[in-house]
Structure 1
Amino acid sequence: MSIILKAENISKQYRLGVVGTGTISHDINRWWAGIRGKEDPYLKVGSENDRSTKADSDYVWALQDINFEVRKGEVLGIIGKNGAGKSTLLKILSKVTIPTTGVIKTKGRIASLLEVGTGFHPELTGRENIYLNGAILGMTKAEIRTKEAEIIEFSGCERYVDTPVKRYSSGMRVRLAFAVAAFLEPDILVIDEVLAVGDAEFQKKAIGKMQDISKGDGRTVLFVSHNMGVIQSLCDETILLHNGRFVEKGKTEHVINTYLKQNIGNDAVFNFDIPKNNNIQAYATKLTIVDLNGNLMSEIPIGKPWKVKIHFTVCQEINNLIIGLGMTDMLNAPIRTSWTPSNNLTPGEYIAEFVEDSVVFNHGRYKLKIGISKGFHSIQYLDENVYITISEVVYKQDKTVLTNGNGVFSNQMKMNVYKT
C-alpha cells in the first residue's frame, strides 16, 4: 500500500512565556546566522518537554526528531500523556503551524478537526457554517451542496441547522464539525480528542464513520485520543510519544501496553503511614497491584489476571487475624469484599495476597478498602484511600477476548497469607 504521509525529522521549539523569540537580540542573532548560512543558534539549546519539571532554559522542544510514515487507508492512533506533543504534531500535520525543523510530505487533501468548533463563526447558522467550513477545507460550493443533506442528517442537528452556532452546546458543535470533516471526503482526516465532547450515541456513530472512511473509502485517518478502548478498536497501528519524543510505532495492542507501563508509580504502589496508636496489634504498611508475573500495573485491562498484595506488620501475637479487601465505586456503593481465612500470627512482617483470574468490571475508577481485624468484629486497622483504574483496554490471550467487561463477577479472589 502506498505511502500517503511522511514525517521527516520533525521538531518544534517554543520560547516559554512570550510570543516569538522574545528579544530583538535573539532575532538579530537568528537573522545573522541565516545570512552566513549557519544553523539557527537557538536550535542548540532548549529543555525537554516535561510539563511536571521546572524549566532550565527559555526554550522548550515540544517535539524533537519525529519520523514516521502513514500508508493510504490506514487508521493511525497517536497516544501519550498530556503534554507529550500529540496536539502539536497534529497542528503541524494540518499546516496550522510550521515545524522548526523537518518536513511533512503528503499526497492529497487534509481535513482537520483539532478543537470544538474550529473554523465556525458563532453568528452564522449551522447551515452557513457548513459552507464556510467546507470552503476552508478546500471544497467548492457545488461539492458542499451535494453533501449538505448527508452532513445535516449525520450530525443530528437538523432542527437547529438554521440557528446561529453561538446558541449550540459544545456537543452540538462537535457533531456538526465532525460531520463536515467526515463527509467532505478528504484524503487524510486528522482528528484530535474532540469526540470526548459528544455523547455516547454520537461517539459510536463517529467511530463507525471513521471505520467506513478508512476501510470502505480507502482514506487515511490520524486519531489522537486518551480513550485506549477506542484506540484499540479503531487503529491497527499506533504511535507513542513521550515528552515530545518518538517512542515507538507498532501494533496497537503492543504500543498500548508500553504506554500503560509508563504510568507505573503511585497508581500501582500505595504506602501507608504507621498508626500512632501504640495498642494496635497489626497494621498495613503498603499495597501493590501486580500481574501474575509480579509486574506493577497502574491500570488493569479488562480480562487480565491481577493480584493485590497487602504488606502488613504484626506488632504482638494475635489470634484469628483476618485481612479484608473491599471494593466500591467512586460513590462508595459497595461492590464486593473478600477475606482471608483467620490466622494465628506471631510478630513480624507479612503479605496477604488476593488473586483473581480476570478483571470483569466495567472500565473506570474504583476504591479499595483494607481492613485488618481480630475475628470479624474487633477492627485493628482500616484504610479507604486506595484508588484503582480498570482500563478500557481488553486483555487478549491467544486472540480470544476473555471477557466483555459487562460487570459480572468471575470466581472469588484466591487468598493467601505468608511471612516475609
Structure 2
Amino acid sequence: MSVITVDNISKRYIIDHKKGKGGTTLRDMLAENVKSLFGRKKETTDSGLEHEEFWALQDVSFSIQQGDRVGIVGHNGAGKSTLLKILSKIIEPTSGSVRIKGRVASLLEVGTGFHPELTGRENIFLNGSLLGMSRSEIKKQFDAIVDFAGVEKFLDTPVKRYSSGMYVRLGFAISAHLDPEIMIVDEVLAVGDAEFQKKSLGKMRDNSASGRTILFVSHNLTAVQALCNKALYFEKGRLLEDGETNQVIGNYLSKVSKTKLVRQWDTPEEAPGNDKVRIRRIELVPDMREGQTHIDVRTPMRVRFEFWNMMEQANLNLSLHLNSLTGECIFNVGTQSKSYSKGLLAGECEIPGYFLNDGSYTISVMIVKDTVTPLFNMEEGITFDIEDYREGIAWYGKWPGYVRPQFPFVMQSLEQGVPIK
C-alpha cells in the first residue's frame, strides 16, 4: 500500500534584487549570464526591482510503500530538504500534488517543533499534541523518551538552554516514540555523537519492522545503506534515480567519482608556471578492484606529476602535500634533490590503500631548487573524494581522523597464559 504518492511536483522561488543607483555593472552582467546557464531567469520591473526565478524542485514523481525505509541522497542544493519540507506540509509545492496516508513526524533541523521558553517536559507533551496524541498516550511513552534522549537531569529546564546535541536527542526521541506512521529525518542526526547515531539508526530500524515508513536524508552513505531498503537520488532539483539502495548509491558514487583526476597542458606556452618551470601534467591514478566504480578507503593510488624544466642545469626536487578540503596538511613527502638538465621531468608517489580515511582531499605539488627555494607551487592540483567501506563492523558513525591505517593490533585473554608477541 502506498503511503506517500508524489505526482509531478515542482517548487519555484522568486528572489528579489533591488538594482543599485549606479545601474548594471560589467560584473552584474557576467554574473547574470552565468546564472542563465543554470536555468535561472531574471525579469526587471519598471521600479527597477529584479526578480530571479529559481526552481528548487522540478517535475518530481515517486511513491513509497508502507514500511519502506527510503534514503535520499545528493549534493547540497539538490532539493532534498525542500522535498522534506513539502512532505511535512511546511511549504506548498508550486505545482503537482502530494498524497500522504498517516501521521507524519518530522525532524528537519535542530529545534524543530520546540518552544524555546518551555521545558523539555512541556515540549514532549506539546509535540505529542501536535501529532494528534492524547495526554494518556504521551504519558505511556514519556519515560522511554526521556531515557532515550538522556536529558533527565535537564527535563525541567527551558530548552533554549539546551545544547544542539541535547535538542537533537530529545527531538528524535519524541519523533521515534510517539507512534507516527511516517517518520521524516533530515541530516540533523549528524549533530549527535557516534553512540547516539548508532542508537538512532537501531530505533529507526525497529520502527520500520513494526510497519512504520521512514524517509532519511544523510550524507553518511554507510548509514543510508545500513538502514534503507530503497533510495532516491536527486541532482539540481530533479529526481535522477529511484530504486534499490545499493544500486542507487553505486550509481551516485560513480557519477560523483567522475571528477576529473587528471589535468594536462600540451605546450609550455599555455601551461601554468614561470620562466624556470612549467607544469605539463598532474594525475591521480587509483588502482580499482574488479567491479569497483569509485575510490574508497581500500584503494591504492599513485600521483603522477610531469613538468618542463626550462633551466640548463639545476638541483631540483618535488614536494607533495596532501591536504584536507578544509586546508589541514595530512602529510608532506618529497623526492631527493638531484641535478637535472633542461627538458621534461616526471615524479610519482604511491599512496597505499587502507591509509586515508573517507573524505575530500586536495593534492598540491611544489617544485623546489637546491632543497630550499620554491620555484612554483601548484595548489589544489587535484581534488578527489574517498568513500567509506566497512566489512564486519556494525557501527555506522563517522570514523574519526584523516588517516585510517591497519596496524597490527591484537587482543587475548591473559588466562591463556600465552604472552602477546
TM-score w.r.t. the length of structure 2 is 0.72
SS of the aligned residue for 2:99 comes to strand
Residue 385 of structure 1 and its aligned partner are, at CA, apart by 4.5
The equivalences for 1:305-384 within 5 A come to 305-316=300-311, 318=313, 322-327=317-322, 332=328, 335=331, 337=333, 339=335, 346-348=342-344, 352-356=347-351, 358=353, 360-366=355-361, 368-373=363-368, 380-384=375-379
**Aligned equivalent of 2:13:** 14
Partner residue in 2 for 1:224? 217
Secondary structure of the structure 1 residue equivalent to 2:105: strand
Secondary structure in 1 matching 2:122: helix
Name the structure 2 match of 1:164: 158
Taking a change above 3 Å as real, the CA distance of residues 311 and 359 of structure 1, as seen in their structure-2 partners, is farther
- 2 CA distance for matches of 1:208 and 1:50? 45
The structure 1 residue matched to 2:284, chosen from 282, 289, 307, is 289
Give 1:180 deviation, angstroms. Answer: 0.2
- How many angstroms does 1:379 deviate by? 5.5
Partners in 1 of 2:282 and 2:215 — Cα distance? 39
Do 1:285 and 1:312's aligned partners in 2 also have CA atoms closer than 8 Å? Answer: yes
CA apart distance, 1:110: 1.7
Determine the C-alpha separation between the residues in 1 that align with 2:13 and 2:298.
43
Amino acid at match of 1:174: V
Name the CA distance, whole Å, in 2 between partners of 1:318 and 1:250.
Answer: 60
Matches within 5 A, 1:67-86: 67-86=61-80
Deviations 1:400-419 (CA, angstroms, capped at 9, x unpaired): xxxx9962179xxxxxxxxx
* Cα 1:352–1:17 shift into 2, 3 Å: same
Going from structure 1 to structure 2, the CA distance change for 1:334 and 1:91 (only over 3 Å counts) comes to: closer
Query: Could you tell me how far apart the structure 1 residues matched to 2:11 and 2:41 are?
Result: 17
Change (3 A) 1:368 1:13: closer
The residue type paired with residue 8 of structure 2 is N
Q: Secondary structure at the match of 1:194?
A: helix
Counterpart of 1:187 in structure 2: which amino acid? Answer: E
Counterpart residue type for residue 307 of structure 2: F
Find the counterpart in structure 2 of residue 102 from structure 1.
96
Partner of residue 41 from structure 2, selected from 51, 55, 69: 55
SS at match of 1:229: helix
* Gap regions ≥5 residues in structure 1: 19-48, 294-298, 397-403, 411-420
CA contact (8 A) 1:50 1:83 kept: no
Match in the other structure for 2:272: 274
* CA deviation after TM superposition for structure 1 residue 130, in Å: 0.3
- Most deviating of 384-393 and 243-252: 384-393
Alignment partner, residue 34 of structure 1: none
CA distance in 1, matches of 2:205, 2:337: 51
Q: Residues 368 and 388 of structure 1 are in contact (CA less than 8 Å); yes or no, is this contact kept in structure 2?
A: yes
| Aligned pair partner of 2:404 in 397, 407, 413 | 407
Aligned AA for 1:315?
M
Instruction: Report Cα offsets for 1:332-390 as digits up to 9, x if no partner.
Output: 55535264896956524x55444545353123454534233468667644445557455
Contact 1:301 1:395 in 2 (8 A): no
* Distance verdict in 2 for CA 1:333–1:56, change over 3 Å: closer
CA distance in 2, matches of 1:53, 1:340: 51
| Alignment correspondent of 2:26 | none
Deviates more, 1:104-113 or 1:266-275: 266-275
CA contact (8 A) 1:4 1:70 kept: yes
Normalising by the residue count of structure 1, what TM-score does the alignment of the two structures yield?
0.73
Q: 1:203 Cα deviation (Å)?
A: 2.3
Change (3 A) 1:269 1:17: farther
Match runs of 1:115-194 below 5 Å: 115-194=109-188
Task: Report how many residues are paired.
Answer: 364
SS of residue paired to 1:301: coil
**How big is each residue's C-alpha offset from its partner over 1:86-107, in whole Å with a ceiling of 9 and x where there is no partner?**
1111112122223233222333
**Inter-partner Cα distance in structure 1 for 2:236 and 2:330:** 39
CA distance in 1, matches of 2:311, 2:405: 40
The 10-residue stretch of structure 1 (175-184 or 93-102) with the greater mean CA deviation from structure 2: 93-102
Secondary structure of 2:41's aligned partner: coil
**CA contact under 8 A between 1:284 and 1:381: conserved in structure 2?**
no
Query: Taking structure 1 as reference, are residues 126 and 335 closer, same or farther at Cα in structure 2, changes over 3 Å only?
Result: same
Q: Distance in 2 between matches of 1:167 and 1:391?
A: 38
Match of 2:228 in 1: 235
Which amino acid is 1:91 matched to? K
Identity of aligned residues (%): 40
Where does residue 205 of structure 2 map in the other structure? 211
- State the 1:250 CA deviation: 3.0
